[in-house]
Each structure stands twice: as structure tokens, then as C-alpha cells.
């Protein structure tokens, strides 16, 4: 952070030849259960190393404008008040420290989302199956997320693939003022000049302005897998405009299979609005999200009457 160092030439060469021609993802209707995404590449010249303490990187133009708009449109009518994980139980609870609204997409919910998830795996060098479902967040004026850690302290959530090792935060909209991502415990020796366009909150540490299409990758664990307390981060209050973002949390181990094993016998709804959506016919209109498939967990299985308690 501060004097922005670009990745080493060797790393550029390594990344420039990286390509994924066929990525195993959940079913989207083809017999082979495979979505073929031709030559998933990313441009390493767009990646800037922001900091080593915490380890943070910015990818300019990671998403296209159309991809950003697509994620917003898919999520817009399914937003609910954001929650946080209770430190002891790990269960989601409401809290004043997080005032945004949000929702979770299903993995590979459509081909646009599948391609983005495959691109994340390619960029981060972290397996697709280690990632949680993507979360879409919406911040209106004055809404925020106070500084917090993404790594997990409770045993409940660590049973799903172990601790979170990294976060990919994708900005889906521009913000007129505010809404920066700030790292209050970033290396104090780093220098980042800030003018009046930065919010007061952003002065707490190294900060990143939300720009539509950009993606921020930062690591919550050190290379030896111990927690990195410098990864403390927050979303500054929106002062003018609104902010949309998408978050992908990535674990040390296989999140998908551990989640399926633990919840294979559980019949429940994952969203408080499931009952209402079911009455409106969403089980038939949006079956992948509501009911799921053999490889994608439905969010409203109980309300859609596809399982029994």
C-alpha cells in the first residue's frame, strides 16, 4: 500500500501463461456436469500489489460493466438486512456494526456467475471448491461495516473447510463519495496521499476507493496459516450515492464437500423470505436458487416442499 509496487517480472510470466480451459462446476443443464469456459485468463499487468502487511492486491477492471450490472440485477429483489457471525456460536446475528443489505448467490447460478467464479480461482490460485457462495452487498447513504476480521474464531464455521484464508471483494458500482475499504491496522510506514475526495473514515489507514469493475484481494491468514491481525478492514460509510459490491470468501480446505456432508440431512430455509417467495411461485420460476440441484444447495428447500424435517 503506499508506494504501489507491481508484481515481479517472473510472477507476470507465470501468470500470463496460466489458463483454464474446462472448469468443474455445479450442474447448469449439460450432461457432463461441466461448464466449458474457453481460456480463462487474466491480465497480470492490471494487478497491483498494495501491501504485504496485510497482503493485498488490486485488479483493475476484473469485471466488465455488464458483469457488474448482471450481479446487481440478479440480487436486487432478494436483499435482506446483513448479519454478522456471532464470535462464540458462529451463527448469523443482526448487529449495528453492519448496516448494509445483502444476499447470497448459488454457485454457478448462471453462466455469467460461473465464469466469474472460475476467474477468481484462476487469479487467486485457490481451488474453486474452497470458496463460499458469492455475497452481494448494497450500501445506501450512511450505511457501513465497522472494521472487522474475515478469519473465523468460532469452531462452528471452521468445520466448513477450515478457516478463511482470503477474500476477493469486487466493486459493482462507483460511489460519489465515501464507501472506501479501509485497513486501520495496515503497515504504518506505508504512505498514501489523500486529498479532500477521501472520506474521514478513509484516513484511519490505507484505503481503496470503490471503482466499478475493480477487485481487491487480501489475505486474512499469514503464509504459515496463522491469523494476520493487520487484515482488519471496514467499509466506510457512503456519503453520496450508493455502493454495490460482491464478496467471495475462500477457505483453507474444501468448503463445498464439507458443507454438503454436514447439511445433507438438514431440511430448512436459508432466507427468512423463502415462504413468501414460494407463495409467489418462485420455486417453479427460479428452481436453481430456490430448490437447488444435485450439486447446488437450494436456499428455500423447506418452503418448496422438496424435503421433510
Residue 14 has a pLDDT of: 42
Phi, psi of 278 (to 5 degrees): -60, -40
- For domain 51-263, give the CATH number: 2.60.120.620
* Beta carbons of 116 and 107 less than 8 angstroms apart: no
Three-state DSSP at 251 gives: strand
The answer to whether the CB of 268 falls within 8 A of the CB of 91 is: no
87-134 residue pLDDT tens: 566 556 666 767 788 999 989 999 999 999 999 999 999 999 999 999
pLDDT of residue 123: 95
Question: Domain-by-domain residue ranges, the chain?
Answer: 51-263, 265-309
Q: How many CB atoms lie within 10 A of CB 88?
A: 10
- Give the per-residue pLDDT at 83: 66
pTM of the model: 0.75
What is the pLDDT, as a whole number, of residue 309?
Answer: 65
Provide the 10 A C-beta neighbour count for residue 162. Answer: 18
Q: Tell me the per-residue pLDDT of 1-59, one tens digit each, with 9 for 90 and over.
A: 544 444 443 343 344 334 443 344 444 444 333 334 445 677 889 999 999 999 999 99
Question: What cell was used for 218?
Answer: 487480501
Amino acid at each position: 500500500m503506499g508506494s504501489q509496487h507491481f508484481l515481479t517480472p517472473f510472477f507476470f510470466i507465470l501468470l500470463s501463461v496460466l489458463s483454464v480451459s474446462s472448469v468443474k462446476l455445479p450442474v447448469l443443464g449439460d450432461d457432463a456436469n461441466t461448464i466449458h469456459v474457453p481460456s480463462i485468463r487474466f491480465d497480470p499487468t492490471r494487478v497491483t500489489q498494495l501491501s504485504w502487511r496485510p497482503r493485498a492486491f488490486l485488479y483493475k477492471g476484473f469485471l466488465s460493466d455488464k458483469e457488474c450490472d448482471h450481479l446487481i440485477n440478479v440480487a436486487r429483489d432478494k436483499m435482506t438486512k446483513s448479519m454478522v457471525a456471532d464470535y462464540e456460536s458462529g451463527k448469523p446475528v443482526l448487529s449495528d456494526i453492519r448496516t448494509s443489505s445483502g444476499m447470497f448467490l448459488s454457485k454457478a447460478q448462471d453462466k455469467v456467475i460461473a465464469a466469474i467464479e472460475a476467474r477468481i480461482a484462476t487469479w487467486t490460485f485457490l481451488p474453486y471448491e474452497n470458496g463460499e457462495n458469492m455475497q452481494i452487498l448494497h450500501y445506501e447513504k450512511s450505511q457501513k461495516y465497522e472494521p472487522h476480521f474475515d478469519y473465523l474464531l468460532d469452531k462452528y464455521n471452521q468445520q466448513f473447510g477450515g478457516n478463511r484464508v482470503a477474500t476477493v471483494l469486487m466493486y459493482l458500482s462507483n460511489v460519489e463519495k465515501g464507501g472506501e475499504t479501509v485497513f486501520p491496522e495496515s503497515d504504518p510506514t506505508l504512505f498514501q496521499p489523500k486529498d479532500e475526495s477521501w472520506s474521514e473514515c478513509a484516513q484511519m489507514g490505507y484505503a481503496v476507493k470503490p471503482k466499478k469493475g475493480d477487485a481487491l484481494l487480501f489475505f486474512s491468514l499469514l503464509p504459515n496459516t496463522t491469523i494476520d491481525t493487520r487484515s482488519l478492514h471496514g467499509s466506510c460509510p457512503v456519503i453520496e450515492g450508493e455502493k454495490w459490491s460482491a464478496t467471495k470468501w475462500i477457505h483453507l480446505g474444501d468448503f463445498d464437500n464439507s458443507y454438503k456432508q454436514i447439511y445433507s440431512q438438514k431440511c430448512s430455509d436459508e432466507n427468512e423470505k423463502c415462504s413468501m417467495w414460494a407463495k409467489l411461485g418462485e420455486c417453479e420460476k427460479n428452481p436453481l436458487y430456490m430448490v437447488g440441484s444435485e450439486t447446488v444447495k437450494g436456499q428455500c428447500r423447506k418452503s418448496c416442499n422438496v424435503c421433510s424435517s
